[in-house]
Chain A
Amino acid sequence: MNAYLLPLTGGILLGLSAIWLLLTLGRVAGISGIAWGSIAGPDRGWRWLFLLGLLLGGLPTHTVLGQPLPDESIAPTWLIAISGLLVGIGTRMGSGCTSGHGVCGLGRRSPRSVTATLTFMTLGMVTVFVMQNLLGGGA
């Protein structure tokens, strides 16, 4: 089987998930916004259901379909914690993440989302470059 068939199929499912949520409830499938809204926002019910579904949806991949579990990250704990902190601060400040800006926002042709996506993609690549080449591959 083509090595890129699974990534492509998974990607199409992500797109369909976003379209379904927009079509039925009129909501954006942005995970950072849904996660934060599930504890801080009004209308928590649909957000909790989405997050429950997210976990349920991950199960059959590894049980029914038999995909091997990804290995645990080898990054040290302090780096994981800083990473999570920056992702939390950044996604709220910038109103979205890979899903809200990347998948949904690009689909709406939103200039804000195009800007955000280009920015976080670039910074992700620069960060990996710095870690790998200048700091000796910490991650």
Chain B
Amino acid sequence: MKAWPALVSGVLFGLGLTLSGMSDPAKVLGFLDITGAWMPDLIFVMGGAVIVTFILTPSVLRRQAPLLASAFSLPGKQLLDRRLVGGAILFGIGWGLSGYCPGPALVSLLYGYESTLIFCLAMFAGMALEGGLSQTLSGK
């Protein structure tokens, strides 16, 4: 599989995150603070992104295959299960504590802040722990 288009996609993503203000945790927290000094910026970020994907995704997926790979690699799961909702709950709490979600945190490594590095290391640790933790919780 050719991989270079991923570099283009990453550049667009990094540009989009920083230009939009998503890489500023204060703005993200300001957006989540709906009962305080609410900052609506992120509505426009999410809105702009989702309008593009909402309009264009169906026509892309109508193709037999992607341009440079043999098949689409899409999530196969359809069911709404406890893992999905439980994971989204934990993620939402973590997001609200700092204002960082994975993309903005990774691109913020550019700024050389200690807190961003700690967040990213903790995030990878959490990802590594998740498998064992979920198994323990489900008693398998």
Contact = CB atoms under 8 A, between A and B. Distances in A.
Interface residues of A, number: 109
Interface string A14-40: 111111111111111101100110011
B129 A11 contact: no
Given A50-B7, A62-B18, A73-B113, A84 B130 contact: no
How big is the B interface, by class?
A: 35 or more
Interface string A37-69: 001100101110111111111111110010101
Nearest to A82: B97
Interface of B: 1-27, 29, 32-36, 40-42, 44-54, 56-57, 60-61, 63, 65-69, 71-75, 77-80, 83-103, 105-111, 113-116, 118-131, 133-134
Main secondary structure of the interface of A (DSSP, over half): helix
Given A6-B21, A26-B71, A120-B92, 17 more contacts: A7-B44, A27-B69, A50-B6, A50-B13, A51-B106, A57-B10, A83-B95, A84-B119, A85-B129, A87-B101, A88-B94, A88-B127, A92-B131, A98-B102, A102-B49, A119-B88, A124-B95
A93 B87 CA distance: 5
Contacts of A20: 5, 8-9, 12
B92 A95 contact: no
B101 A97 contact: yes
A66 B101 CA distance: 24
Nearest to B19: A10
A53 to B, nearest CB: 2
